[in-house]
Amino acid sequence: MGKIFYIMGKSASGKDRIYSLLAAHKELNLKTLILYTTRPIRVGEQDGKNYYFVDDGKLEEFRKNGNLIEERAYHTVYGIWTYFTADDGQVNLADSDYLGIGTLESFKKMRKYYGEDAVCPVYVQVEDGERLSRALNREREQENPRYEEMCRRFIADQSDFSEENILNAGIEKRFQNINLDDCVKEIANYIKSVQ
Ligand SMILES: Nc1ncnc2c1ncn2[C@@H]1O[C@H](COP(=O)(O)OP(=O)(O)OP(=O)(O)O)[C@@H](O)[C@H]1O
């Protein structure tokens, strides 16, 4: 039976970079589980690669059809941005292993939907000061930097990813993203060990 390796971590902990490197790792042979979001696309992102970028109408359509596995709405300074996972036929656990990204809450819902054994947590951690500095550098490269939103997320993450919430989600193992390549190697070894 296939597994879904589910990457989690605070903002700018390196989830997207790690996701891309693991997805390109031939030996692991992971299919990517693409989430949906109603937030605007960032410079360098591609529709259907990082996320499917959709509008609220599409979200409503999934909801109406009973295909919404989980959703999270963020009240940002730019309005409400919803991130969601839909059962749109992407996942066939009889056939493949998958790679996804999400939050602690979405991870719990994924486990409920696909089964506890099928969804394996990959929790990425970076020291807060370093993480904030990476977030700021990333924002500076954007055409329209959203510093206020960056700060909002940084603060929200402190409670969303509290030690209590991490433990409640059933996460024991953590991967430190100091050097990206080393971190990816460590995660790849873990994935191989449970595949
Ligand atoms: N080990 C590392 N060393 C230095 N920079 C890194 C490292 N890992 C990631 N970065 C950089 O840090 C920034 C944040 O990484 P990334 O966008 O992958 O984080 P994320 O967890 O997906 O963030 P978000 O949840 O906010 O989208 C990026 O600019 C990325 O290139």
Q: Whose CA is nearest to atom 1 of ligand 1?
A: 180
pLDDT digits (tens, 9 = 90+) for 93-126: 999 999 999 999 999 999 999 999 999 999 999 9
Cross-strand partners of 68: 86
Q: Which atom of ligand 1 is nearest to the CA of 134?
A: 12
Cross-strand partners of 97: 30
What mean pLDDT do residues 144-160 have?
A: 95
- Rounded percentage of the chain residues whose pLDDT exceeds 90: 93
Strand 119-125 relative to strand 97-101, pairing: unpaired
- Ligand 1 probe mutation, 16, 160, 178, most atoms within 8 A of CB: 16
Ligand 1 center to residue 151 CA distance, Å? 15
The fold of the 4-190 domain, in CATH, is: Rossmann fold (3.40.50)
- Rounded percentage of the chain residues whose pLDDT exceeds 70: 100
Report ipTM for this prediction. Answer: 0.97
What pTM was computed for the model? 0.90
User: What are the residue ranges spanned by the domains of the chain?
Assistant: 4-190
Tell me, using a 6 A CB cutoff, whether residue 16 lines ligand 1.
yes
Tell me, using a 6 A CB cutoff, whether residue 17 lines ligand 1.
yes
Q: What's the pLDDT band for 49 if we cut at 50, 70, 90?
A: confident
What mean pLDDT do residues 64-70 have?
A: 95
What mean pLDDT do residues 151-176 have?
A: 96
Tell me, using a 6 A CB cutoff, whether residue 157 lines ligand 1.
no
Task: Provide the pLDDT for residue 50.
Answer: 78
Ranges 47-51, 175-179, 180-184: which has the least confidence = 47-51
